[in-house]
Copies of this chain bind each other. A is one copy, B any other.
Amino acid sequence: MTSRKIPSLGYALLGLLHQTPASGYDLRKIFSATSMKTYSDSPGAIYPALSRLEKQGLVRGTVEEGSGLRRRQVFRLTPQGIAELKQWIAVAVTRDDVVRRLPEIMLRFAFSEQVVGASASLEILKSLEAALKPYVQSLREEAQRLKSIAPLSGTLAFEAGLRGNECLLQWARFAISAYEKRK
């Protein structure tokens, strides 16, 4: 039953577990110590998420004992878990992803090279660029319309969003050239 929709916290866990098996506590520490602070490090989110993934057959937890250590459950990806992770990464980026789910795109891209390989990374970048270009254009047009009617702070806030997306587009092109240079 891989059919049920998985939230991005679930994919973040799968991606981390693909790199190395880990316990819930390890994963929490990764979230709170690195730039993945955007994901919750609360036990009430992570432990239920792990057991959901286990119920879906995407990870398997094994209790590590002996050697005087405290009880510690280490999770590993199952073959289905790897398959699910791969297909999540390999789907092309849509405009709706860009508008509402940017963090998830970046997460997919971050894991892409290790999980599916450099060609998949390039594919993500190219579909991101393709979705982003017309979106930035439409934002520029809306900015023009807004300038005459909104107060300064409203116009500036919109400009921040526009600049952020322009910046992302530049980054995508930079990243594409980095991958093409490496070939």
CB pair B118–A156 under 8 Å, yes or no, is: no
CB pair B161–A168 under 8 Å, yes or no, is: no
Counting every copy of the chain, the complex holds 2
How many chain A residues sit at the interface, stated as a range, is 35 or more
Q: A37-B99, A38-B100, A167-B167 known; A121 and B153 CB under 8 Å?
A: yes
Q: Choose from B109, B152, B158 the contact partner of A118 (Cβ within 8 Å).
A: B152
- Among A37, A142, A168, A171, the most chain B Cβ lie within 10 Å of the Cβ of A171
Q: Choose from B100, B113, B163, B179 the contact partner of A171 (Cβ within 8 Å).
A: B163
Q: Shortest Cβ distance from A37 into chain B, in angstroms? A: 5
CB pair B178–A109 under 8 Å, yes or no, is: no
A107-131 with Cβ < 8 A to chain B: 107, 109-114, 118, 121
Chain B residues near A114 (CB-CB < 8 A): 151, 153-154
Bound state CA distance, A182 and B99, in angstroms?
32
Q: Choose from B99, B106, B159, B170 the contact partner of A38 (Cβ within 8 Å).
A: B99
Q: Chain A interface (Cβ within 8 Å of chain B)?
A: 34-35, 37-38, 99-100, 106-107, 109-114, 118, 121, 139, 142, 151-154, 156-161, 163-164, 167-168, 170-171, 175, 178-179, 182
